[in-house]
Amino acid sequence: MRAFFDLYYGRGSEEYETNESFQLLFWCWALIGVKPLKPYGFFRFFQMAFCWICLLVSPVVFVVGFMQVTQNSSMTVILTTLQATINVMALPLKVIATAFYLDRLRSVEPIFKSLDGRYQSPQGRFAIRDNVIQSARLFMTVLASYFGYGTISWLLSILTHTQPLNIWLPLVDWIPQPTTQYWLHFLIEVLYVYFLLICQCLSDLYPAIYIKALRTHITLLAERVSRLGANSNLTDENKYQELIECVRSHQEILQISKAVGSVLSITIFVQFTIAAAVLCICMLNLFIFADANRRVITIVYYLCVLMQTLLTCYQASMLEADCANLPNAIFHCNWLDLDKRSRRLLIYFLHRAQQEISFIAIKMFQINLGTNLSIAKFSFTLYTFMNKMGVGDNIKHQLE
């Protein structure tokens, strides 16, 4: 296993493998207890159990905290807590689905290794290395964005002497000394929020990284297919075997997409169902209730919520576009120099390649940029409807 900075900067003399794109994901899954560490022991079992308890109780502590906030806080604080609460309520479902199907994600690693073995040219190895580097940088960019929201939240809380998200911590809240109670609650809440942000980041990011790996191999396959028949030094049998390898690579890519799609469809569906509501609440808070400080947090949170589905939808749309290039590459290859047997196989391959690789969230939502834009538009429609009905102004007038 490579060190983090080797992945991030692409250092090291050894050849890169596609499976190294997922190395940071599995490191963090082990950190939060989703992936058990070997060799098994008491401390590792305790760490795994503690992380799962923290994750499963997160909806409870956020909902109870939200109910307490509604009794004695301003509307902007209530909405800030509500938008985080709705997002957290879906988080355990996404992590449970990922943990349940983790072996299915692991099952594609030998297939990716087999695909890597077919590209030994400098161009092919560079493309695989570039995919690993970009995946590591994408991981750190998204994680830094999520942590940026958490950091801004607790910095503002220190300035206003409040709690970042006002979660419910019963044992801590019962401490009679106000100063001790505040700082202990603050410390635990900040650590807890960072833990949940890591869980959220992994659940939102792994589909994009796996789809990006598929895109790399689809592009490599299209380039390889375009060179069929171009080398006149090869015999007809060698050209036929080369074509068979291309067909086998395409079948393996379809096998990977089926395995990965069955996992990410669940987590993306859960996020799709809550995204519109969360974005609508963010806009209500931003344009009606929030003061200058809360607007900063709301804008950062709004961008993070958009990113939760945008990355996967973008990679899925780009994968569809890459798949559309494969039939063109087959059609424009030098098929005139192939024998009759190879031409028959090439026609079959052309027919199969026209089937694009797409993902559907629980057979309801197409995972692409169109669906992501529709959800954003729907959230804006909800906000416009509530604004025209005067919901925000009525609440604001009652509070005044």
Average pLDDT, the chain: 86
Instruction: Please write down the long-range contacts of 293-298, taking CB distance under 8 Å and 24 or more positions apart.
Output: 293/156, 293/159, 293/160, 294/76, 294/77, 294/80, 294/156, 296/152, 296/156, 297/80, 297/149, 297/152, 297/153, 297/156, 298/80, 298/83
Of 166, 159, 171, 216, which Cα lies nearest the Cα of 186? Answer: 166
What is the share, in percent, of the chain residues with pLDDT greater than 70?
95
pLDDT for res 393: 53
Mean pLDDT to the nearest integer, 76-81? 84
pLDDT at position 45 over 70: yes
pLDDT for res 400: 45
pLDDT for res 392: 52
Residue 207 pLDDT class (50, 70, 90 cuts)? very high
190/362: higher pLDDT: 190
Q: What is the 3-state secondary structure (H, E, C) of the chain?
A: CCCHHHHHHCCCCCCCCHHHHHHHHHHHHHHCCCCCCCCCCHHHHHHHHHHHHHHHCHHHHHHHHHHHHHHHCCHHHHHHHHHHHHHHHHHHHHHHHHHHCHHHHHCCHHHHHHHHCCCCCHHHHHHHHHHHHHHHHHHHHHHHHHHHHHHHHHHHHHHHCCCCCCCCCHHHHCCCCHHHHHHHHHHHHHHHHHHHHHHHHHHHHHHHHHHHHHHHHHHHHHHHHHCCCCCCCCCHHHHHHHHHHHHHHHHHHHHHHHHHHHHHHHHHHHHHHHHHHHHHHHHHHHHHHCCHHHHHHHHHHHHHHHHHHHHHHHHHHHHHHHHHHHHHHHHCCCHHHCCHHHHHHHHHHHHHHCCCCCCEECCCEECCHHHHHHHHHHHHHHHHHHHHCCHHHHHHHHHC
Residue 340 pLDDT class (50, 70, 90 cuts)? confident
Count other Cβ atoms within 10 Å, centred on residue 181.
15
Residue 348 belongs to what domain range? 4-399
What is the share, in percent, of the chain residues with pLDDT greater than 90?
37
Predicted TM-score (pTM) of the model is 0.92
Of 143, 162, 184, 194, which Cα lies nearest the Cα of 80? Answer: 162
Residue 33 pLDDT class (50, 70, 90 cuts)? confident
pLDDT at position 185 over 60: yes
Whole-angstrom distance, CA of residue 162 vs CA of residue 377: 34
- What's the pLDDT tens digit per position in 273-291? 888 888 888 888 777 777 7
pLDDT for res 198: 94
39-48, 123-132, 139-148: least confidently modelled range: 39-48
pLDDT at position 191 over 90: yes
Whole-angstrom distance, CA of residue 351 vs CA of residue 233: 28
pLDDT for res 257: 93
314 within 8 A of 204, measured Cβ to Cβ: no
Number of domains into which the chain is organized = 1
pLDDT for res 71: 81
pLDDT for res 36: 74
pLDDT for res 288: 77
